[in-house]
């Protein structure tokens, strides 16, 4: 039984590799390069701005340490959402379950994001940047928390998108808001208390603080690791719980 499920999971991952971009397996390389291009454009735009780093000695590393967790969340959430919305036809096969679609997409995105981060690190090392965090286990934990948050949010977004297709477009607006309010381009600790309180309700901000704390000792005085992880777990179980409730009508949702 377990072997059959592993075969199903592998088949779904291979299908996603072939169909994610341009209907060819080579398109999967683009899914690895896409986040790199995103980060590269932002870094190039800021390369022409003569300004000091908001924190630390390197403006590039300040941005990279914030962009990596955001990209991990964003791409995980997006492709999980698409797995829910676009892969329903596979559920007509008795051996395929909704959880197979979800975990297949999630594993594939973890691999793609890991490759993207590794390639970005090599490029930055080639340009003389010190990309190794001072606390590697903490950086790995922050990335894991970000993946968990993106996974749970992606499931919920996919289910909402099935019931209300306009949400697929609306989710882009949510991404833009998170992009601006998750502490990527500013030092959260320097903001006024009331602003920190409301922005601190965003769990992705804590994942960004968590990653930066792995690079900068003493960074993120308001960092709440437990809050970030709990939010990810709650979103995940909420999404899986709703999926279980609507499982019988999953194929009928428009």
Domains of the chain, residue spans: 2-252
Asked whether residue 182 carries a pLDDT value surpassing 80, the answer given is yes
Q: Summarize pLDDT for 120-142 with one digit per residue, the tens.
A: 888 888 888 888 888 999 999 99
Q: What was the pLDDT predicted at 20?
A: 62
Q: Using an 8 Å Cβ cutoff, are 214 and 225 in contact?
A: no
- Per-position b or e across 82-110, b if 16+ CB within 10 A of its CB: bbbbebbebeeeeebbbebbbbbbbebbb
pTM assigned to the model: 0.86
Closest CA to 223 of 182, 185, 194: 182
Express as a percent the part of the chain with pLDDT over 70: 78
Q: Summarize pLDDT for 16-59 with one digit per residue, the tens.
A: 666 665 555 566 666 666 677 777 777 777 666 667 778 878 88
User: For residue 51, what is the enclosing H or E element?
Assistant: none
Asked whether residue 196 carries a pLDDT value surpassing 50, the answer given is yes
Q: What was the pLDDT predicted at 254?
A: 47
Asked whether residue 250 carries a pLDDT value surpassing 60, the answer given is no
Q: What is the DSSP string of 176-195?
A: HHHHHHSSSSS-GGGS-HHH
Q: Summarize pLDDT for 151-180 with one digit per residue, the tens.
A: 999 988 888 887 788 888 888 899 899 999
Residues, the chain: 254
232 CB contacts (<8 Å, ≥6 apart)?
Answer: 145, 148, 149, 151, 152, 203
Q: Using an 8 Å Cβ cutoff, are 112 and 21 in contact?
A: no
Q: What was the pLDDT predicted at 73?
A: 93
* Residue-averaged pLDDT of the chain: 81
Average pLDDT over residues 242-246: 76
Q: Using an 8 Å Cβ cutoff, are 85 and 161 in contact?
A: yes
Q: What was the pLDDT predicted at 226?
A: 95
Q: Using an 8 Å Cβ cutoff, are 222 and 195 in contact?
A: no
Asked whether residue 64 carries a pLDDT value surpassing 50, the answer given is yes
The winner for highest mean pLDDT among 99-108, 120-129, 145-154 is 145-154
């Amino acid at each position: 039984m377990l072997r059959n499920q592993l075969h199903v999971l592998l088949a779904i991952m291979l299908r996603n590799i072939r169909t994610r971009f341009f209907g060819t397996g080579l398109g999967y390389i683009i899914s690895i390069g896409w986040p790199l291009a995103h980060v590269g454009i932002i870094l190039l735009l800021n390369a022409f701005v003569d300004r000091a780093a908001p924190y630390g000695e390197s403006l590039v590393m300040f941005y990279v340490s914030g962009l990596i967790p955001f990209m991990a969340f964003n791409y995980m959430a997006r492709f999980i959402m698409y797995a829910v919305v676009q892969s329903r036809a596979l559920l007509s096969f008795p051996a395929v379950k909704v959880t197979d679609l979800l975990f297949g997409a999630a594993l594939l995105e973890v691999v793609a994001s890991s490759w993207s981060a590794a390639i970005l690190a090599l490029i930055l090392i080639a340009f003389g940047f010190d990309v190794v965090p001072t606390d590697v286990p903490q950086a790995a934990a922050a990335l894991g928390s970000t993946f968990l948050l993106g996974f749970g949010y992606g499931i919920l977004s996919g289910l909402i998108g099935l019931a209300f297709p306009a949400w697929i477009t609306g989710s882009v607006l949510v991404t833009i808001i998170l992009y601006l309010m998750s502490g990527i381009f500013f030092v959260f600790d320097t903001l006024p208390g009331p602003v920190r309180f409301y922005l601190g309700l965003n769990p992705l901000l804590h994942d960004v603080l968590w990653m930066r704390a792995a690079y900068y000792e003493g960074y993120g005085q308001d960092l709440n690791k437990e809050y970030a992880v709990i939010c990810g777990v709650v979103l995940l179980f909420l999404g899986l719980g709703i999926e279980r409730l609507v499982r019988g009508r999953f194929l009928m949702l428009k």
